[in-house]
A and B are shown apart, each in its own frame.
Chain A
Amino acid sequence: MKYSAIALALAAALAATPAAAQGGDAKAELAKVKPKDFPTEPIEFTVVYPAGGGMDVTGRLLAKTVEKVSGDRIIVNNRTGGAGMVGHAYLATQAKPDGYTVGVIANLMWGDAMLRAQNRWAYTDLEPIGYINSDALIWIGPTEGPYKGMSVKQIVQTAKDKPNTVRIATVPGSMWDYIVDQVEANFGAKFLRVPFQGGGAGITALIGGNVDVAQGFYSEFRGHLEAGKVAPLGVAAPDRMDFLKDMPTMNEALGGNEYQWIIIRFAVVPKGTPADRKAYLGAAVQAAMKDQELIAEYKKAGVYFDSKLTNPATMLQNLNEYAAREKEFYQKTGRLK
């Protein structure tokens, strides 16, 4: 097949350049923990969402930088389906724990493990080796029509005074839905929930005037924000975002501290991966995350870095705390017995 030959030749030629261009400290550091017999073949970075999406971009940028700092060959593979479920199950139950499979995943895996895995696997089957970045869920409103200029509080009040009139875009069975659950339960409000397959589709519906409130990540609506088509209302994170200092947190706007819905992206290896290989891969990911170019790329994409997770020494403990917090929510709302 001519076409794959071209693709392979191009890929090989281009992949060689960044690795060769970089030398220096990171590489020397890594060399110290590098096992003798590893890696002898390309390492697969498994992304469980489709090519081109936010998670895929994150994974590919990371892979590019890990190649640069380690000199190892990385292949990014999208194993998609079931909104990540198929890929998560693959990583937890099928992937060989030999160090050649690294999952670039998000904390959405916890929900899959706790609610949908039916005890076939648990989130502890995937061992975190390095934190990547975070993205907090943001409520956005329109810049025209009756809801123009309203704050989160005012919108929630409207949904309470006139139930089933305010249309909000959600993604069923996920944090997009859970935060609406919380708001409705705490304020006695009732929204018209319009289901979409992802945050981006809901934002499109907001701009088209088909919903009144949408929820999404900064990178998903930044273009529309700059064009004045949408207004940021509140962010479901503990602190305000650096890039939108004027936007309150949902906790500030509504009171309380439970409105925290954040995508946390991190790299994992399947449980049972040899300790030396796991340590090496962890060091490679952490070295990549120190690369200024990569940090700049991620910042440009609109993500932020959670100071609780950027320190490798306490990352695991804090990640587990976040997972426990999510479990508590599922138990409290009767989703998990």
Chain B
Amino acid sequence: MDAINGLMTGFGVILTAQNLYFCLLGSLIGTLVGVLPGVGPLAALALLLPVTFTMQPVGGMVMLASIFYGAMYGGSTTSILLNIPGEAASVVTCIDGHKMARQGRAGAALGIAAIGSFIAGTLGVIIMTFFAPAIAAVAIRFGPPENFGLMVLGLVCTLYMITGSPVKGVLMIALGFLCAAIGIDVVNGRERFTFGSVDLSAGIELLAVVIGLFGVSEVLGNVETMAKSTLVSEKIRGLWPTLNDWRQSWRPMLRGSGLGFILGLVPGGGPVTASFMSYALEKRISPTPERFGEGAIEGVAGPESANNAAVAGSLIPVLSLGIPGNPVTALLLGALVIHGIQPGPLFVTQRPDLFWGIVASMYVGNVFLLVLNLPLVGLWAQLLRIPYRVLFPVVLLLSVIGTYSANKNVFDLWVMLGFGVAGYVLRKLEYDLAPFVIAFVLAPMLEQSMRQSLAMSADGAMIFLQRPGTALLLAASALLIALIFRRKRKIEGGMP
């Protein structure tokens, strides 16, 4: 088979001391980038891009790709331990992961996250090996109307993120939409809600919002309880997932892998969307949805698998068609161009060494990452013993560095601080922060895809029903909403 031959070529390319070294180095950097709150894969890749100029293209690309998927491994660590996401794709992991840590089960959560990442990453690359060109041909048909359907489904999924009062949750979603509307109108190019400020004309930076809402506000909130010297009760029960954890986790891992891979392929998808849609899925089909938000291990296993599978999925359009779906893959594309390589549909046939080398390196890289991350579980769990007065200044410092490094724009730091204070107040008032962030991520894509669809349609809104993909996604959204209301009535009806 072609794929097997290709893969053999790939392993031939990758199994040299030098390329293995770059793969290991990338995995290591990726893990650290993921662990450090604020410093995301995009900033790291931009920083290291010049380093790859003088390297062989294979080594350079292997390193950059491994940073990208390595970051998905590390991202869950601070979510679980500190309730501060290492990067945006790990926001939902905070919900149940941190609860688990507070119950002394940080080790189990970290272990499941690492193993889930490995399984999803490996499954993703296996699918990539055999079906990349075929999948890419289908994915490119996914246009604005289909993207709109997906975004609506995503929006419905945010309803599953709400843990407390539904009214407060919906308010946060609305607020997320409002904040996302700031900036340049996607259709007519005019500025909206910027009050004439140049800084606001770019809109609000997602990274600054996430770090502010989760990182800074968490630090502020914990300063109040400084009396206690450590974050979590001293007792950390069991560093490894138990048999029962496994039983509860393997299905979410597989579902998360599948969902994440598909979402990675399409333009509006990617690791962030994949992680929270997986969370919503798990909560929806769980026989005990009330456990979610209280330390359900499925809420860690699903999303952490999904964001890794999404990375593999998002590499397919880039490598087999030369079409990037998110900023990180756009940067990888730029790296290829700098090396004088023309990405595009002919890339696989023209540079089989490079394409298959990258694919093969992902098998190796995922093994490296598992071997790197599992022993680290014990070490990370020890982080919880670090006193506040040491840990939090470090977290704040990293937050500032991470936020600034993305755009080198000082205004982003003020945004971070502002959202930090807002997050602190909102937590006090028991508002959920995750729905806000997710609505903030979805809103621009929802708006753009809707207005693009209407612009390209001769019959107005009918386009959403004329395209079978869109109609299917919208039907699924309607069904989910109906189910939410039915369950709510059932619960209310059951109450005496």
A residues apposed to B, CB below 8 Å = 1-3, 6-7, 10-11, 14-15, 17-18, 50-53, 56-57, 60-61, 64, 76-83, 85-86, 89, 116, 118, 120, 164-165, 167, 172-174, 177, 192-197, 200-201, 204-205, 207-211, 219, 222-224, 226-227, 229, 297, 300-301
Contacts and interface: CB of A to CB of B under 8 A. Distances in A.
Interface of B: 25, 28-29, 32-33, 36, 44-51, 53-54, 140-144, 183-191, 196, 198-199, 201-203, 205, 267, 321-324, 327, 330-335, 337-338, 340, 342-347, 407-409, 448, 451-452, 455-458
A11 B55 CA distance: 11
A177 B189 CA distance: 10
B334 A56 contact: yes
A164 B458 contact: yes
Contacts of A7: 29, 47-48, 51
Contacts, number: 173
Nearest to B44: A3
Contact of B201 (A11, A82, A164, A229): A82
B330 A52 contact: yes
A193 B33 CA distance: 40
Contacts of A193: 455
Given A116-B191, A195-B455, 13 more contacts: A51-B49, A52-B333, A56-B334, A85-B198, A86-B202, A172-B187, A194-B144, A194-B452, A194-B455, A208-B142, A210-B456, A224-B345, A226-B342
B347 A52 contact: no
Contacts of B141: 208-209
A144 B457 CA distance: 20
Contact of B186 (A17, A85, A195, A223): A195
Nearest to A229: B345
Contacts of B458: 164-165, 192
Contact of A53 (B33, B190, B330, B344): B330
Nearest to A195: B187
B199 A86 contact: yes
Contacts of B347: 223
25 contacts: A1-B32, A7-B29, A11-B51, A52-B327, A52-B331, A57-B334, A60-B53, A77-B408, A79-B407, A79-B408, A79-B409, A80-B202, A173-B184, A173-B188, A173-B189, A195-B186, A196-B452, A208-B143, A210-B456, A211-B456, A223-B345, A223-B346, A223-B347, A227-B346, A301-B337
A3 B144 CA distance: 39
B337 A118 contact: no
Contacts of B185: 172
Contact of A204 (B196, B323, B334): B323
A300 B340 contact: yes
Given A164-B458, A192-B455, A197 B201 contact: no
Contacts of B342: 222-223, 226
A195 B451 contact: yes
B447 to A, nearest CB: 11
A106 B4 CA distance: 46
Given A173-B188, A192-B456, A192-B458, A52 B335 contact: yes
A78 B46 contact: yes
A14 to B, nearest CB: 5
Contacts of A53: 330, 334
B186 A50 contact: no
B53 A64 contact: yes
B143 A210 contact: yes
A173 to B, nearest CB: 2
Contacts of A226: 342, 344, 346
Contacts of A56: 334
Nearest to A165: B458
